[in-house]
Amino acid sequence: MVIILISSLRFRLEAENFSPISIYCEGSTCREMQKLGDFKLPHFFNYPPYFTLQPVRETREKQVQLWKELILDYCRTQKIFVIKLEEEFPLFSNSVIERTLSHEAREAFLSALAAEGRAEWLDKGHRSCLILWHRIQEWADIIVNFVKDNGFEDSVMTVEEIRFGIESRRTELHGIDRTILMRALKLLEQKGKLAIFKGTSTDDEGIKFSV
Amino acid sequence: MSNFFSKAEVTSSGRPVFLRNEVECHLLSGVDLEPEDHHHFSPLKSGIFILTTHRLLWLPSSSATTPTSASAIPLAAISHIFSSQKSLKSVFHSPRIRFQVLVSPDGRVFDPGSGSGSGFSSGSGSRSVVVTAVVRGKGDCDGFLVKFWDSWRTRAWESNETSGSGSGTGLASGSGAGTGTGGGLYSADGSVRMVGVAGILRKEQEMWESTDKSLQDAFQDLNALMSKAQEMVKLAEKMRQKLLSGTGSQTSGTNDEDMGSKEEIQDWLLSVGIISPVTKESAGALYHQQLSRQLADFVTTPLERAGGMINLIDAYCLFNRARGTELISPDDMLQACSLWEKFDVPVMLRKFDSGVMVIQNKSHSDEEVFARIKSLVTKPEALRNGISPTDAAMTLGIAPAMAKEHLLTAESKGLLCRDISPDGFRFYINLFPEIDPCNIYFVKDYGICSTWIKAVSTSG
């Protein structure tokens, strides 16, 4: 199957090389690249130096930038909210070229995301990182839209209902990480858009919207 | 006040004036000199106590309120040195050095130079006084004591007197024996006579033997060597004077022969480790200049073989091996290389960021090397698997260590990227500049990325 793909790719590439204008090779490059789940990987994922933390400043800056984009994209499409550094993370390894990111490299890239406000370390030892492919404010906006779209302006819902209820299935809220959701809700509470109240157990925390 | 002690002369800056052949051995500060019995002299407080080969000197410290003159005790006047007693009491107070000094009838320290008679010994009923030196300042008291014993036993002050009188007595006995017995090789007292050619030869032989013995003695006993060192220093001074007077009086380059012999002397001095005084006047000793040129000539052949760049350590080994004898030190090597800047030689010393030092041709250009590296690293095989320093070394025709330096320099210029894996340390062409972070899936048609993709995908 791989041979067929590659020969068709070669044909495709050769055909496209004859045109004078540079073409968006998305289709051809992707078919050649392996996937992680349904996530399409860029061509440089198979470039071995991509997995070694580069010492030269300019090169390192570019490398960090590419990894930041890739991590956010991957987490967004796969709905991943937390990365644990000591556990295996599919994006950090490439079995085709037999390379894995070192612990140091992982920490470097995630710290770069944290510096940008796109991630947060959950512990001082930097073992666990919260990924904010939407910023908290963005999540807050999504919640507000969700409430408005479904007419929940004056109603009450539990936190779990927001996370896993039928209504959220069509939105990005479905399956959201609890920590992130609570932060967004607290942000909205400060703005007076809702009120959080405790139920009989943590699972039953309720939200009263007043959007 | 201190009529007891001999007077010690002091220079205007407060340093003691030494006798002929007198050498300073040790110095302690904050020392009080106290007699066991106050009626000999009043204690001297808080001064500088100096031990020399001939005397013990006490100099008042500059903070002394009443002017006290510097005092001396000749070592010849010392009849006994007490060993330090370590008792519980001694832990609590300052260390002390106690010694016994002979006193002449007029109540002063016995002064051997005053010619008060050779019959004056400790057994002839003279009085002696125990003096205690209390060391209140910081100082190595035990070390002082050891040196004190040494100096006292060596009796350096006697060698001046005996050398004069010794030859006198020898002559006397020789001539006496000669007139007494008349002919024959052996004189009356059994020693061999110095007569005729045989005598001259024998004298030469004896001189040679005594020099040999003296050398042996010198090297056997380090203390004895140190006394011989004084002779060496005198010799070196003589040489120095000769050199300085020579260069001072002549204009440069007038007399080749003279200059040659002066260079010889300089070289000889340098070879025994004495830095030529002329070095300070001319920038770089002649020795180093010559070495520098010789090195530049020598190094051209290995440089060519090594592809234009050679590690300094390798060059050092090669050079010394070629020299055979008269090996140069690493310091000499460095000096010689740094002198190249002043001359017009086709080689130069270069230091990389990693600290590695190399000798390279002045004509060597980094750009040329980078061009060669770039062409190497864009070959399909290298695009797929990268290059290791060994690969680069083989292609560029240089040593692997040099190749690695070049690769690292190319990396720092943004030409290459490193890849560290269990397979080792490899370098790839740098693709990062071409990738657009806002459009990571896009590949330019004729850029390096597409070349790379093509090379990688054909491997199957």
Supply the pLDDT for residue B179: 40
Four-residue CA torsion sign, B393, B396, B399, B401: negative
Q: What is the pLDDT of residues A125-157, one digit of tens each?
A: 999 999 999 999 999 999 999 888 888 888 888
Of A22, A56, A58, nearest to B444 by CB-CB distance is: A22
Of B77, B96, B75, B78, nearest in space to B87 by CA = B96
Q: Per-residue pLDDT for chain B (460 aa), expressed as one digit of tens each?
A: 446 788 888 876 677 788 878 888 888 888 888 887 767 777 888 888 888 888 898 888 765 555 567 888 888 888 888 887 767 776 777 888 888 888 887 777 777 655 444 444 444 446 788 888 888 887 788 888 888 888 888 888 877 554 433 333 333 333 333 343 444 556 555 566 667 888 888 888 888 888 888 777 766 777 667 777 777 777 777 777 777 776 555 444 445 565 566 667 666 666 655 554 433 334 346 677 778 888 888 888 888 888 788 899 999 999 888 877 778 889 888 888 888 888 778 888 988 888 889 998 877 778 888 888 999 998 888 888 889 999 888 888 888 888 888 899 899 999 999 999 888 889 999 999 888 888 888 888 788 888 888 888 775 4
Nearest CA in chain B to A4: B460
Residue A146 to chain B, least CA–CA distance (Å): 29
Interface pTM (ipTM) of the complex?
0.75
Interface of A with B in 87-126 (CB under 8 A): 98-99
Whether residue A12 lies within 8 A of chain B, CB to CB, comes out as no
Indicate whether this model's pTM tops 0.90. Answer: no
Nearest CA in chain A to B383: A47
Of B428, B443, B445, nearest to A49 by CB-CB distance is: B428
**Would you say A196 and A207 are in contact if contact means Cβ atoms under 8 Å apart?**
yes
Write the DSSP symbol of residue A204: G
Interface of A with B in 149-178 (CB under 8 A): none
The answer to whether A52 contacts B444, with C-beta atoms less than 8 Å apart, is no
Instruction: Please report where in the chains the tokens 């994922």 appear, as a residue.
Output: A45
B452 interaction partners in chain A (CB closer than 8 Å): 47
- Integer CA distances (angstroms), B440 to A62, A99, B122, B143, B237, in order: 12, 20, 104, 77, 78
Whether residue B453 lies within 8 A of chain A, CB to CB, comes out as yes
Question: Could you give the CA distance from residue A180 to residue A133 in angstroms, rounded to a whole number?
Answer: 11
Q: What are phi and psi of B26, to 5 degrees?
A: -155, 160
Query: Which residues of chain A fall below pLDDT 70?
Result: 1-32, 202-203
Nearest CA in chain B to A12: B454
Nearest CA in chain B to A41: B441
The answer to whether A25 contacts B443, with C-beta atoms less than 8 Å apart, is yes
CB neighbours of B448 closer than 8 A, spacing ≥ 6?
B378, B429, B431, B434
A58 interaction partners in chain B (CB closer than 8 Å): 414
Nearest CA in chain A to B414: A59
Q: How far apart are the first and last CA of chain B?
A: 107
A 10 A CB-CB count for B439 gives 12
Task: Determine whether B441 is exposed, middle or buried from the number of CB atoms within 10 Å of its CB (0-12, 13-18, 19+).
Answer: middle
Residue B451 to chain A, least CA–CA distance (Å): 11
Question: Could you give the CA distance from residue B151 to residue B26 in angstroms, rounded to a whole number?
Answer: 10
DSSP one-letter string for B115-142: T--TT--TTSS-EEEEEEEEE-SS--HH
Whether residue B412 lies within 8 A of chain A, CB to CB, comes out as yes
CB contacts < 8 A, A to B, total 90
Supply the pLDDT for residue B171: 37
Supply the pLDDT for residue B112: 67
The answer to whether A59 contacts B414, with C-beta atoms less than 8 Å apart, is yes
**Mutating which of A43, A77, A96 best tests the B interface, going by the most B Cβ atoms within 10 A?**
A43
Supply the pLDDT for residue B178: 37
The answer to whether A3 contacts B460, with C-beta atoms less than 8 Å apart, is yes
Residue A115 to chain B, least CA–CA distance (Å): 18
Of B440, B446, B452, nearest to A42 by CB-CB distance is: B440
Nearest CA in chain A to B440: A42
Of A29, A54, A55, nearest to B441 by CB-CB distance is: A29
A103 interaction partners in chain B (CB closer than 8 Å): none
Nearest CA in chain B to A14: B454
Supply the pLDDT for residue B320: 87
A52 interaction partners in chain B (CB closer than 8 Å): 417-421
Task: Determine whether A108 is exposed, middle or buried from the number of CB atoms within 10 Å of its CB (0-12, 13-18, 19+).
Answer: middle
A62 interaction partners in chain B (CB closer than 8 Å): 432-433, 435, 437
B432 interaction partners in chain A (CB closer than 8 Å): 54, 59, 62-63, 66
**Would you say B135 and B26 are in contact if contact means Cβ atoms under 8 Å apart?**
no
**Mutating which of B423, B432, B456 best tests the A interface, going by the most A Cβ atoms within 10 A?**
B432
Interface of A with B in 23-82 (CB under 8 A): 23-26, 29-30, 32, 40, 42-44, 46-49, 51-52, 54-56, 58-59, 62-63, 65-66, 69-70
Strands A93-94 and A156-158: unpaired
Q: To 5 degrees, how large is the angle CA B44–CA B113–CA B10?
A: 45
A 10 A CB-CB count for A129 gives 24
Residue A58 to chain B, least CA–CA distance (Å): 8
CB neighbours of A56 closer than 8 A, spacing ≥ 6?
B411, B412, B414
Nearest CA in chain A to B437: A66
Q: What are phi and psi of A23, to 5 degrees?
A: -105, 155
Nearest CA in chain A to B434: A62
The answer to whether B420 contacts A10, with C-beta atoms less than 8 Å apart, is no
CA torsion, points B367, B368, B371, B373, in degrees to nearest 10?
-100
A23 interaction partners in chain B (CB closer than 8 Å): 445
Whether residue B457 lies within 8 A of chain A, CB to CB, comes out as yes
Whether residue B144 lies within 8 A of chain A, CB to CB, comes out as no
Residue B401 to chain A, least CA–CA distance (Å): 20
